[in-house]
């Protein structure tokens, strides 16, 4: 094999991930070592535990993607690593290894914004040419509406004023005593529940801008649980979860389509961990259909944190003629996309 593989490393939070892709960004091998179980007893991510485990997990992951691709380090022609946003100590591990490998292999190095990885991921699988669109990124740390005019050309339209959508799921999951992270747990329990059983606020639905706020919803969920007392039957939990989920989905879907109308985009792409949510996918697809907006949602395999999306972003930047990053570019825990 000639040297034509992109190697990408993602260590922005608690998942250690390594991927190999071809120069068009299509995944050749992608592995994730999840630390969810390690952090679960603490109800959230413990930064030092995360970075120590990134250090331990990266080498075996690197060896396993090379073996799966039947490739050696000599087949790598470009190296990429996530440089932010995220936890500083976690980002440093992947960024430092990526730079060291790029120097050792004599390859260009691309520092990739984790959010750009999410933003472009709906175009990864099934493969689709990246074209101008409206992007909704919904993850544990971010809720962003972005006007994407091309690779590297992003304009921020709206963001959350307080909690991110995933954070609201996780905090309410904790109030319910569910395992961390709460998002997938709430979504599982919401199935079969009555979405109108509880009335939760839809903050900023009529605000006329593209910003979000989820802290009022979280507070309302807490008051509702206090009022209900406990222990709660499975049916009540299902109704509570379905009603809570519906409040988030209503706001995300309406703001996304309002932003499409305002910008004239007829294509929207939804990404980030929360885009795994079944009800969100279902609603955005049907609301998009009614509004004449084509919707792409990231494949669930590439929705939560992974390195294939980082490889795809790096290959897309390379293909668009955007320069590699200087090796003295630092990580940035607060890196912005636009």
Which of Zn ion, ligand KG4, none does 122 bind, CB closer than 5 to 8 A by kind? none
Q: Which of 117, 122, 140, 324 binds ligand KG4 (CB under 6 A)?
A: 140
Q: Judged by CB, which is closer to ligand KG4: 147, or 305?
A: 305
Instruction: Give the residue, chosen from 170, 246, 258, 287, that forms a contact with ligand KG4 under the rule CB under 6 A.
Output: 170
Binding mask 218-257 for ligand KG4 (x = CB under 6 A): ----------------------------------------
Site for ligand KG4 in 23-52 (CB under 6 A): none
Q: Does 85 bind ligand KG4 (CB under 6 A)?
A: no
Q: By CB under 6 A, is residue 270 in contact with ligand KG4?
A: no
Binding site for Zn ion (CB under 5 A): 139, 305
CB of 302 to ligand KG4, least distance (A): 10
Q: Which does 184 bind (CB under 5 to 8 A by kind): Zn ion, ligand KG4, none?
A: ligand KG4
What HEC string does the chain produce? Answer: CCCCEEEEEECCCCEEEEEEECCCCCEEEEEEEECHHHHHHHCCCCHHHHHHHHHHHHHHHHHHHHHHCCCCHHHEEEEEEEEECCCHHHHHHHHHHHHHHHHHHCCCEEEEEHHHHHHHHHHCCCCCCCCCEEEEEECCCCEEEEEEEECCEEEEEEEECCCCHHHHHHHHHHHCCCCCCHHHHHHHHHCCCCCCCCCCCCCCCCCCCCCECCHHHHHHHHHHHHHHCCCCCHHHHHHHHHHHHHHHHHHHHHHHHHHHHHHCCCEEEEECHHHHCHHHHHHHHHHHHHHCCEEEECCHHHCCCCCHHHHHHHHHHHHCCCCCCCCCCCCCCCCCCC
Q: Smallest distance from the beta carbon of 170 to ligand KG4, in angstroms?
A: 5
Based on CB atoms, which residue is closest to ligand KG4, 182 or 288? 182
Window contacting ligand KG4 (CB under 6 A); options: 74-82, 200-208, 216-224, 267-275: 267-275
Contact residues: ligand KG4, CB under 6 A? 139-141, 166, 169-170, 181-184, 187, 272-274, 276-277, 304-305
């Amino acid at each position: 094999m000639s040297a034509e593989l992109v190697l990408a490393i993602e260590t922005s939070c608690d998942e250690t991930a390594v991927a190999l892709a071809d120069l068009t960004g299509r995944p050749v091998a992608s592995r994730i070592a999840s630390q969810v179980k390690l952090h679960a007893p603490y109800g959230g991510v413990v930064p030092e535990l995360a970075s120590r485990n990134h250090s331990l997990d990266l080498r075996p992951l690197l060896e396993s993607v090379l073996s799966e691709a039947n490739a050696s380090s000599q087949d790598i022609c470009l190296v990429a690593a996530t440089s932010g946003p995220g936890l500083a100590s976690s980002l440093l591990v992947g960024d430092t290894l990526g730079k060291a490998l790029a120097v050792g292999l004599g390859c260009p190095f691309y520092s990739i914004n984790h959010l750009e990885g999410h933003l472009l991921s709906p175009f990864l699988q099934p493969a689709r040419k990246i074209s101008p669109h409206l992007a909704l990124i919904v993850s544990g740390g971010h809720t962003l509406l972005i006007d994407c005019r091309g690779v590297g050309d992003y304009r921020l339209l709206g963001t959350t004023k307080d909690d991110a959508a995933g954070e609201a799921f996780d905090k309410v999951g904790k109030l319910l005593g569910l395992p961390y992270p709460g998002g997938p747990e709430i979504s599982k329990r919401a199935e079969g529940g009555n979405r109108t059983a509880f009335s939760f606020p839809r903050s900023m639905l009529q605000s006329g801008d593209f910003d979000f706020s989820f802290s009022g919803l979280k507070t309302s969920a807490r008051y509702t649980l206090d009022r209900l007392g406990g222990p709660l039957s499975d049916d009540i939990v299902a109704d509570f979860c379905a009603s809570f989920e519906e409040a988030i989905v209503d706001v995300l879907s309406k703001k996304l389509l309002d932003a499409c109308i305002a910008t004239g985009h007829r294509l929207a792409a939804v990404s980030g961990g929360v885009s795994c949510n079944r009800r969100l996918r279902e609603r955005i697809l049907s609301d998009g259909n009614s509004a004449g907006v084509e919707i792409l949602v990231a494949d669930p395999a590439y929705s939560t944190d992974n390195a294939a999306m980082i490889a795809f972003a790096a290959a897309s930047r390379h293909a668009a003629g955007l320069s590699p990053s200087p090796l003295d570019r630092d990580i940035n825990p607060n890196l912005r996309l636009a």
